[in-house]
Amino acid sequence: MWWNMILLASREIRRNVLRSSLTVLGIIIGVAAVITMVTLGDGVTAQVATEISSLGANLLQVHQGQGFRGPGGTRSAERPFDLKDAAAIEEEIRGVIAAAPVASRSLQAIVANDNWSTTVTGSTNAFLIVRNWTLESGRLFNESELRGGKPVCIIGSMVREKLFGPQNPIGSSLRLEKLSCRVVGVLKAKGQSSTGMDQDDFVLIPLRTFQRRIAGNQDVSAILVTAQEGVSTEKVQSDIERLLRERRRISLEDEDDFHLHDMKEIISTMTSTTRMLTALVGAVAAISLLVGGIGIMNIMLVSVTERTREIGTRLAIGALEREVMIQFLVEAVVLSSFGGLIGIILGLSAAAGGAHFLKIPFVFNGGIVTIAFIFSGLVGIVFGYFPARKAARLNPIDALRYE
C-alpha cells in the first residue's frame, strides 16, 4: 500500500516537474546551508584543536605575574623565575616529563646580506620536548654548550628558508645582532598556530647564551611543563603552585605572583566556543527550511484545488477520508525528502570545496546529515497536513460539481 502511494505521489510530481523543482528549492537551499555551515564549523573546530595540540601535549605554561585580573583588577609585581625553579619542578613534581625555562626576544637574524626579524628563545633541550618539536636535520645542544653558554643555535624552517634558501645551514654561522652563532640543527615545519603565529619563524639558543650575550641578566620569564599521558594535569598544576609558593616564599595571606595555563583547558574552551557558533549558524540556516515548508504548503493547496474533481471521484467510489489524507501527505513528504537528498549532496559538495579553499579538514558529520534529512521529511508532514486535511474533508458531491 505504502509503496503504491509513493509511486502515485512520484507520478503526480513528475506531471509538473518545473513546479515541483521550484517548490523544493527552499528545502534544497535550507538543507544545503545547514550541512555546509555545520561541516565547515566542525572542520574549524578540528583545526583549532589540532593546532593548539601541536603546541605540546599535556602542556602547562607557568608565567610570572598574575595576568589580567578582570575589570578594576591590578597586576601584581612580576618577579622572574630562575633555572633552579624549572629544575625543581622537573625533579620534585610527580608526573612531569620535562620542564623548560624560557626567555625570548625579537631580534634581527643576519646571514651575509640577508636579514630576517624573528623570535629568539633561550632554553634547554627540554623546550623541544614540551613543544613537541622534532629535528629535521642536525642535532640537539650538548651539555658543554648548555652549561658553557656556547654560541650555537637550532633554527625553524621559515628562518632557514629566508636566510639560507636551498642550502644546508648546518655548520653555517648566523648573526643575532652582535652574537654570531653556529647552526647545529633545523626543526621540522609546523605551520601557523591557531593564533596566527608562525611556529617555524623561530631560533632556539642555549638559555645561558641568551642570558649572557643577549638579555644581560639571569631572568627566566616562563617555564613550560609537560606531564605524562594519563596523569591529571589538575594535580600537576596544584603541585607546581604549591612548590613555587614555597620556593618564592609566598605567605598564606598573599596571592600568587605567577599564573598557570593548562593547554587542555584552552583547547576545551576554544572548541566549545566554535561548536556553539557552529550550532548558532546552523540554527539560522535551518530557518530557510521553514520557508521551504511554506512553499510546499502553498503548492499542495494549489494541487488540491486543481485535483478537486479527482478527489471527489475517489471519495464517491468509496475511498476513505483517511486514505485521501495519507495520499496527499505522502506526496508532500516525497517532495520534501527529495529536496532534502539534493540539499545533502549539494551541502557536502559545497563543504568539501570550502574546506579545500579554507585549508581546513573536511569532517563528515553523519549525525547532522541524518538530522537534516529527517527534518526535511518532518517539514513535509507538518506543512502538508493542512492541504491533505482540506482534500480529505471535501464533500464528494461539491467536489464533482467543481469546475
How do residues 185-211 score in pLDDT, each as one tens digit? 999 887 766 555 677 888 999 999 999
Judge whether residue 346 has pLDDT over 60. yes
Q: What is the pLDDT of residue 10?
A: 72
The dihedral region occupied by 72, where left means phi > 0, alpha psi between -120 and 50, and beta the remainder, is left
Per-residue pLDDT at 12 exceeds 80? no
Tell me, what's the pLDDT at 207?
A: 92
Q: 225, 256, 287 — which closes off a domain?
A: 256
Pair 319, 280 in one domain: yes
d(CA 260, CA 64): 9
235 found inside a domain: yes
**What mean pLDDT is reported for the chain?**
83
57 located within any domain: no
Same-domain check for residues 30 and 91: no
In a domain, 168, yes or no: yes
- Residues 113 and 226 both lie in one domain: yes
Q: Is residue 23 part of a domain?
A: yes
Question: Among 48-52, 90-94, 272-276, which is the least confidently predicted range?
Answer: 48-52
Predicted local distance difference test score (pLDDT) of residue 307: 81
Poorest-confidence range of 128-137, 214-223, 254-263, 281-290? 281-290
Q: How far is CA 336 from the centre of its chain?
A: 32
Q: Are residues 113 and 223 in the same domain?
A: yes
Query: Is 11 part of a structural domain of the chain?
Result: yes
Number of structural domains (the chain) is 2
Interval 354-401: pLDDT, tens:
888 888 888 888 888 888 888 888 888 888 888 888 888 888 777 777
Q: Where does a domain end: 197, 224, 256? A: 256
- 126-154 average pLDDT score: 90
pLDDT of residue 336: 86
How many angstroms separate the CA atoms of 261 and 255, rounded? 17
On whether residue 62 sits in a domain, the answer given is: no
Predicted pLDDT of residue 141: 93
Residue at which a domain ends, from 212, 233, 256: 256
Q: Are 55 and 131 in contact (CB under 8 A)?
A: yes
Residues 250 and 329 in one domain: no
Read off the pLDDT band of 402 (50, 70, 90): low
Give residue 366's pLDDT: 86
Task: Name the residue range of residue 98's domain.
Answer: 80-256
Give per-residue pLDDT as tens, 333-343: 888 888 889 98
pLDDT higher than 80, residue 119: yes
* pLDDT at residue 155, as a whole number: 93
Confidence category of residue 55, pLDDT binned at 50, 70, 90? low
282 and 387 belong to one structural domain: yes
Residues whose CB is less than 8 angstroms from the CB of residue 308 and which lie 6 or more positions away in sequence, other chains included: 394, 399, 402
Spatial contact of 258 and 64, defined as CB atoms under 8 Å apart: yes
Judged on CB neighbours under 10 Å (0-12, 13-18, 19+), 234 is: exposed
Same domain, 32 and 130: no
State the DSSP H helix or E strand holding residue 86, giving kind and residue range, or none if neither: helix 83-92
pLDDT tens digits, 319-333? 788 888 888 888 888
pLDDT of residue 67: 59
Same domain, 160 and 96: yes
- Regarding whether 272 and 252 lie in a shared domain, the answer is no
Q: What is the 3-state secondary structure (H, E, C) of 296-362?
A: HHHHHHHHHHHCHHHHHHHHHCCCCHHHHHHHHHHHHHHHHHHHHHHHHHHHHHHHHHHHHHHCCCC
What is the predicted pLDDT for the residue at 11? 73
Cβ count within 10 A of residue 284: 12
Q: Does 23 share its domain with 141? A: no
Same domain, 232 and 316: no
Do residues 208 and 252 share a domain?
Answer: yes
Evaluate whether residue 61 is within a structural domain.
no
